[in-house]
Each structure stands twice: as C-alpha cells, then as structure tokens.
Amino acid sequence: MLKRVSLDITGLPPTLEMREKFIGDNAHDAYEQIVDELLGSAHYGEKMASHWLDVARYADSHGFQNDQLRTMWPWRDWVIYAFNENYSYKKFVTYQLAGDLMPKKNIETILATGFNRNHKINQEAGIIEEEYRIENVTDRTNTFGKAFLGLTLECAKCHDHKYDPISQKEYFNTFAFFDKVIHRSKAMGEVLAEAPLITITDEVVEKELPFVNKKEPEDIEVMVIEEKADIRTTHILNRGVYDDKGEIVRPSTPESVLKFDTLVYDSNRLGLTKWLFDVKNPLTSRVFVNRVWQEIFGEGIVRSSGDFGRQGDLPTHIGLLNWLSADFIENDWDMKRLVKQIVMSSTYKQSSVVDDKKLAIDPDNRYLSHMTRLRFSSETIRDHALATSGLLNEEIGGRSVKVYQPDGIWEAASSGRGILANYVQDHGKDLYKRGLYIFVKRTTLPPVQLTFDATTRDQCEVKRQSTMTPLQALIALNDPTILEAARVLSETLIQEESTIDEKIAEAFKRIMSRTIKPQEKKMLVGYYHDQEDAFANDKQKAKDFIEVGEYPILKGRDEVKVAALMQIIHTIYNLEETIIKG
C-alpha cells in the first residue's frame, strides 16, 4: 500500500524510514500522514508534470526534418513549480492559455504561455510560411479541445463534425482565439526560440523566476505568446485548406457545450479561460478529474479520456464523476485535495488480487471491484531503479539531459545539419536525473521510453498505451541504467557487515518495499551461490559483467562477490512485481 501510494503521488518508491514509520504507527493515521508528506514533497510536482508534458506535447526539438534544438525547459520548471505550489487548476490553466493577457501579467504568467508554443515548428527552407502558421494555430486549437474539453475538435476543421454537434464554423470560431498571435518572419532561420519570446537572464531568475534551475552562464530564450487584436482577420478555411478563405468569423465556442456570451466574456483567450471555468461549463472539471482518476487507476471513469463526445465511452460511474467534478469546483479547483481524496478512498485501497467470481463478472474491472494491476511508466521504472540503488539525482528542474543510448541512432535519422545531428551524452550526476528530464528529440525519440509506450510529443496526448512486450523485457535485462543500478547497490551491500542472506533480504526490501518471504530468500540465496561459483570459475566474465555505467567503481571490490550479488539484484529489478502496480 505504501509503495503504491508513494509511486502514484511522487513517482518514487518510499524510503525505508517511511516504511518503518508506516508499519509502526496506527494504520489509518499513519497512512494519511504519509499521504500529506508525499503531497508536500517537491517530487509530487515532477510526477504530476510527467503527465502534463504529454498533454502539452513538450519536446526539446522543433520537429520535422531538420529537427533543431529548442529551449523550452524553463516552462517545464514552471509546471513543476505550479503543481508543487498547488496552484488551483483554474490558475494553472489560465496562466498557460492567457498569461500574457492578464491585467496583472508578469514574467511568470508570460513564461507559462509557452504551453501554446510547444507544438512542432518547421524551419526548413522552401516552406510556405502561411501554410505552417495555419498548422500551428490548428495545433493550438486541437490541443485546447482535447486537453481541456475532452473533445475531438479537429474533426470539424474540414467539414462539420460527423458525430458531435460541432460545426465547421464553430471550429473556426474557436480557432479565432489563437489566430491573433504574432508570427515570426521566416527570415529568422534556424534558432533555439522563434519570436515572440522572453529572455531569461541570471538577474531575472534571481528576482522573478527563482524556480527556474538555470546553471548556464548564457541567457536562455523561451518561446511565449503575444498577440495583436487587429493583426489579421480569421476566415473559415474551405476544406481546411490554408489559402481557400471563406466566411469571416469571430472568436466564439461550440454552443452545444456552453454559449459564449460576449457580454460576460471578452473575445480573446482570457475570455476563453473565463468561459472554460464558468461553473455552467459541463466539461472542464469532469475532463480533468477523469484524467486524474485515469492516472491513478489506469482507466478513467470515462475510458475515452480524450473523447467525451458521442463516439466516446459512457461513464462507468456517472454519479461518481458528477460528484467529483462538482466537489472539485466547490473546493476552488484544488488539485492536491483531489489527489488526496482519491488515494484516501476505500476504492483505491483495494487489493489487486482477483478471485474467479470477480473475474467472471468484471473482467475489465469496470465496476472497480479490485485495484487494477498496471505496468509503471517508462519514467517510473527508471526512477525506481535509480532511487532504490542510491544513484538518483534528486535535483528539481533544469535543462534536459542525454542519458545512455545506443550509438548511431541520431546520426542515422538526422539530416546531418545542426547541433542535434550527433548524440552527445551527458556525464556525471546528470546521468542520474529523473526520466522526466530525458532529452526528447521528436524525430528520434529516446528508445527505452518509446519501447515502454511514452508518447511521441508530436501532438497533445491525454492517455498512454500500456503494453507488455518481449522487447520491453529484453530492454529491462540489458538497459545500462538498470544494470548500473544493480551494480551500485551490490557494491553498497557488499561493504556492509552482514551475511549474504541479510544482503539479499536488504536488497529485496529496498526494491520491493516489503519483507522477503522464506521461499523467495531460499531461491535467491541458492541462485547467488550458483552465480558465485560460475563467476569464480571465470573471473573475466565477472569483471566484464560489472563493468557497466559511469558511476565510480568501488575500490578494492571483490569482483566475484559483486557480480554474483549484482546478478541477484538485477533479477529482482526484472521481476513482474517490481514494474507492476499491484
């Protein structure tokens, strides 16, 4: 239970100290105290941000063939900060959609609008500039629909929506909110950040953005939103074609959701956020609480979390969705409170053991008859290994890092131009930062993350696939990060004055967050002795096995014992129980 809630709230396993406190105190009181402690951890913001980066289609490169570097990571630092400060969902979204239009705007609210600039940008020569400007506005419009309304607005760009009551005109009414944005001139060429942008200096960080983890002496340019009300007129685009302009339209929204009353809302993005958070809007709260539920239970109350339209799934528990939604609004859109509310529930605390009766009646767990068993995300699997081995760099925020990766991947998929033509791995403690911070190049995604179902970041995604494949098992057995974690934990335990039985029991407790069972210990101790004999007969094999990773080796180590114990720890890291929430 402790492992479950710790990984759900922070994405990291509980410490041994938390475990001793949890099992030693009154169960209910200790559990609530642990939940509060986890919600107060800076790692909570990282866990929440991990999903939001999928929604916001965050990446460290522009995309398309040239796929050059961009510097949007200070916006990611803001997202982590906003979650940790427990900004209300209303404030969190308003800053991102319209922080530049707020009456009391400042550099923080403007930085937050980087959400609108996370889309792909084409910097190739010969493009038709207006065509790709329209593509950028289209992306913002589609993202708005999917991220905040759970609607497939994009289906109405070329014609009236085939299933939902959204006309093509209403699509371009919504499009108009994002069409007044200043667009850079193509003459700027390949740059880290295309205007409009803000420049973050050391002085700005010190005085106004202390949450930005800036270490580089160079100033950082971050793309943001700026608009002019009279910059252009918005038209319906016939068949969605960029240069086939039809009827002129004004900013508005689909009436089937909620009429956009221009006497109540301004006809700009700030007015759009007020419409979004109007208590009469039937979707905003429901869509968000459903996604938080999905992040915790694996499936939303509405399983099609990106489609609340007629083609989407009906809620499995409509009363629960309505109540959670209303309660969320009535409590000022408090996100930490919502997470606590769910993890304190009896539904969340259920066992994942399924008996034959439940399996027969509820094979897909639509009735929430038990806790769903879920494979952890690629980020969580990595972070768990780093944390339990003692390797984890717990630094919050900062630039993205390039970790271990097979040679030649970037080079094979690159145009051969620009700073990202070749993969240059980071070293030192940067290798051990959380998966949230791994560098995402759109045309050549991190292979481990991609295999474990991370999103491509080409567009807004509100739900990841969760597969179990042989290739994932192959990676878990051979990934340098997992092997290095096993090696470092082995070296740590070898130094302790304890028996091999005790060392294995300690490794098991650190990784599994529970005490090893007698039959498990017997099996692993026997396996250890088999491996010790094998490595003693081939010391070069032992040496080769433990020569993994860049973390400094233990001086004077007994290579045979380290290799044998490393093999046991590596086995534990590869057990189903390690990578599955159960």
At 29, the pLDDT band (50, 70, 90 cuts) reads confident
Where are the extended beta strands (E) located within 304-455? 374-375
Q: So what's the pLDDT on residue 229?
A: 85
Mean pLDDT across 518-534: 98
At 418, the pLDDT band (50, 70, 90 cuts) reads confident
Look at residues 294, 320, 317 and name the one whose alpha carbon lies nearest to residue 305.
294
Three-class SS of residue 341?
Answer: helix
Mean pLDDT across 350-356: 93
Q: So what's the pLDDT on residue 123?
A: 85
Residue 221, both tokens: 């340019």
Look at residues 449, 452, 486 and name the one whose alpha carbon lies nearest to residue 467.
452
pLDDT exceeds 60 at position 325: yes
Q: So what's the pLDDT on residue 185?
A: 67
Environment class of residue 117 by beta-carbon count within 10 Å: exposed (0-12), middle (13-18) or buried (19+)?
buried
At 528, the pLDDT band (50, 70, 90 cuts) reads very high
Query: What CA–CA distance (Å, rounded) separates 549 from 381?
Result: 17
Looking at residue 292, its amino acid is: V
Distance from CA of residue 24 to its chain's centroid? 34
Mean pLDDT across 319-343: 98
Report yes or no: 449 and 429 within 8 Å, Cβ to Cβ.
Answer: no
Q: Which residue's structure tokens are 């010190």?
A: 206
| pLDDT per residue as tens digits for the range 175-195 | 999 999 998 767 556 788 999
| pLDDT per residue as tens digits for the range 266-299 | 999 999 999 999 999 999 999 999 999 999 999 9
Q: So what's the pLDDT on residue 17?
A: 87
Mean pLDDT across 411-435: 91
Percent of the chain with pLDDT over 70: 99
* Count of other CB atoms within 10 angstroms of residue 515: 13
Mean pLDDT across 526-553: 97
Q: So what's the pLDDT on residue 574?
A: 97
Where are the extended beta strands (E) located within 57-216? 197-200
Q: So what's the pLDDT on residue 183?
A: 85
The whole-model pTM stands at: 0.97
The answer to whether the Cα torsion of 84, 88, 91, 96 is positive or negative is positive
Mean pLDDT across 200-216: 97
| C-alpha distances out from residue 204 to 98, 435, 494, 574, Å | 21, 27, 47, 45
Look at residues 172, 155, 177 and name the one whose alpha carbon lies nearest to residue 246.
172
In the chain, count of helices (H) and strands (E)?
Answer: 25, 6
At 474, the pLDDT band (50, 70, 90 cuts) reads very high
Q: Which residue's structure tokens are 């916006």?
A: 75
Q: Which residue's structure tokens are 């910059």?
A: 231
Q: ∠ at Cα 230 (228, 232), nearest 5°? A: 100
Three-class SS of residue 438?
Answer: strand
Query: What CA–CA distance (Å, rounded) separates 394 from 481?
Result: 16
Three-class SS of residue 197?
Answer: strand
Task: Answer with the residue of higher pLDDT: 276 or 554.
Answer: 276
Q: What is the dihedral of CA 175, 102, 276, 239, to 10 degrees?
A: 0
Three-class SS of residue 561?
Answer: helix
Mean pLDDT across 191-213: 95
Q: Furthest-apart CA pair in the chain: how many Å?
A: 84
| pLDDT per residue as tens digits for the range 126-153 | 889 999 999 999 999 999 999 999 999 9
Report yes or no: 403 and 549 within 8 Å, Cβ to Cβ.
Answer: no
Look at residues 381, 385, 392, 380 and name the one whose alpha carbon lies nearest to residue 483.
385
